[in-house]
Amino acid sequence: MSERNSCDVRLIKEHFGLEQVCGDDGSLDRLVMVPNTNRPGLELTGFFAHAEPKRIVILGNKETAFLKTLSEENQLERFDFLCNDDETPFVLVTSGNPVPKSLETVASRKNIPVFVSKEKSSSIMVALVTYLDEVLAIQDNVHGVLMNVFGKGVLIIGESGMGKSEVALELILRGHALIADDRVDISRVKDSILGTAPYLLKGMLEIRGIGIIDTTQMFGVNAYLEQIAIDFVVEFRKWDDNAEYLRVGIEEQAYFPALGLDIPRLVFPVKEGRNLSVLVESAVRDFMMKQRGINSAKLFDERVIEYIELQNKK
């Protein structure tokens, strides 16, 4: 079951090298669960409806200037609301501005961390959101092999024993790179699905009859890639003589659902004598051509229709 991650404030403090001015060491155990920030314009005016207390609070030049127009009593009231005991992760004062005394009073009483930074609000907000998008991404895992083929993230799925790992080995020998074998950890970052391998399986490939091989040791550093966005899914299925398979390619596009997004999917019937690694490469090339607006199947269909029309005119 997919779920959203969380991280503690300590991780963010260490990653960005923030200077802490309020809150003890225990305050750094507070959790950040929302990949977004809040510049509290309306909240500072006293309008508290529709506020989102789980977001990181950012106080920049505008907020600092506006606070100077408020009485100490009003400042204490606004910061008492912004420093939610259970939900506010931390407060960050940017652009080298001093921490308001009223904020220090409230944050110290509630043991909520307050940090300062010389970075501009706009810069550090972008950096925080980008970082949190990955750290807090919704995650799941799928059974399959993830490869980098011609720069595209290709997820190969199918039942056990279909030869997915063997195809991955052939693709590596043809100059492509492995990301994950057997289990692929996926996460959604905005409108992309990123795939990587669990720590224990990074760079490892299991080949029946050989065992576990380290791709970087055997084939060099270019044989393994840490992470890639999944662009295309290839599904291996056992060949069924009674089934009808894609021939012309003008049928409706199939998709693989992943964390609320649909990834283009193609089914490959597995039969003795088929060179699956070459077929995967060809499928990826065709996928790349379609992205550029070149659809061979449609061109063929148009040619057939044109030919029929010409024959009817005779």
Strands (DSSP E) found in the chain: 3-4, 7-8, 19-22, 31-32, 37-38, 56-59, 91-93, 114-116, 138-149, 152-158, 177-189, 192-196, 204-207, 211-214, 227-238, 254-258, 261-270
Contact 299, 289 (CB under 8 A): no
- DSSP code of 19? E
Q: Is the four-CA dihedral 284, 286, 289, 293 of positive or negative sign?
A: negative
- Which residues, other chains included, contact 284 with Cβ-Cβ below 8 Å and sequence gap of 6+? 149, 150, 152, 154, 232
Q: Is the four-CA dihedral 302, 150, 279, 235 of positive or negative sign?
A: negative
Residues assigned a catalytic role: 143, 164, 182, 247
Contact 255, 223 (CB under 8 A): no
Structure tokens at 150: 């011609």
- Which residues, other chains included, contact 127 with Cβ-Cβ below 8 Å and sequence gap of 6+? 16, 119
Contact 154, 231 (CB under 8 A): yes
